[in-house]
Amino acid sequence: MNLSEIKKIGIVGAGTMGQGIAQICAMADLHVVLYDINAAMLVTAKKLITRNLDKGIERGKVSEEVKKTTLENIGFSSEFDDLKADVVIEAIVEKLEIKQSLFQKLEALNGADTILASNTSSIPITRIGASLERPEQFVGMHFFNPAHIMKLVEVISGAATSPQVARLINELAKKLGKVPVMAKDAPGFIVNRVARHFYVEGLKVLEEGVADVEAIDRLVEASGFRMGPFRLMDLIGVDTNFSVTSSMFEAFHQDGKFRPSRIQEQKVDAGHHGRKSGRGFYNYK
């Protein structure tokens, strides 16, 4: 397969990341099927994608014609059989067993040439692909939130990933207007491994009572960062961020420097997931 032969993209998971990935693929004139087992998620996804496009029009970055074509290019489905595609990208919960089960089903549904890609931000690609019959067709394609805006995409090769597959996904990312970086397989890959302590240390400062949430954010932002750790966790999703930290803590054999925060865990338990829930470390209601 070459880049010109990629016509249809399947995306599993209509949450924040899935919506953004679907939007940019459709804007690149690819036919997209956005799948979610929860039909209500698909309704929400369509509304949010439309809202993103409307904001683009307001800012002069998107035309009415592009909005119309983009929405026409996206199919919203709860039928798993609709995920027969040239490339299928997974954007679901950060749980190894759930991802492995999903990709086994996707592999059985699709042909030998289909590329299966995971948007995982922390789980090793080799580990997910180990349960597949064709692990050479499996690769990491890690977008960053919000996916329709952030330029970076990590393309991660597992131990069995075909170099041709990795190169093709690298080309696909460029077609989507992204800046791809090729990475080797390791917990957290490049960005999340480096950035994890941005969150973890901020949470430790909070746990030790050195400063409150707003003071920590103001200090970091005054140092040149666009967002402090707590504003950024609220944007990404407190639950998503906690899941990634927990995954990396286990992947690094419970190395203390990756220890998840009890304060963050309590936020997750309370349903305070950040902007998407109306409340996180800050109140958005």
Task: State both tokens at 4.
Answer: 């010109």
192 is catalytic: yes
Determine which one of 90, 94, 107, 154 is catalytic: 154
241 is catalytic: no
Beta strands across the sheet bearing 115-118: 74-77, 31-35, 8-12, 87-90, 115-118, 138-143, 152-157, 179-184
Nearest CA among 201, 215, 271 for reference residue 238: 271
171 is catalytic: no
What's the rounded Cα separation, in Å, for the pair 212 and 107? Answer: 48
What's the rounded Cα separation, in Å, for the pair 47 and 228? Answer: 29
Say if CB 235 and CB 227 are below 8 A apart: yes
End-to-end, the C-alpha distance of the chain in Å comes to: 48
∠ at Cα 99 (146, 235), nearest 5°? 20
Determine which one of 118, 119, 142, 170 is catalytic: 142
What's the rounded Cα separation, in Å, for the pair 266 and 108? Answer: 39
Q: Where are the beta strands (DSSP E) in the chain?
A: 8-12, 31-35, 74-77, 87-90, 115-118, 138-143, 152-157, 179-184
Strand partners, 118: 90, 140
136 is catalytic: no
Strand partners, 54: none
Determine which one of 119, 121, 122, 241 is catalytic: 121
Say if CB 129 and CB 158 are below 8 A apart: yes
Say if CB 59 and CB 35 are below 8 A apart: no
Task: State both tokens at 114.
Answer: 């289909």
Determine which one of 192, 243, 246, 261 is catalytic: 192
Enumerate the active-site residues.
121, 142, 154, 192
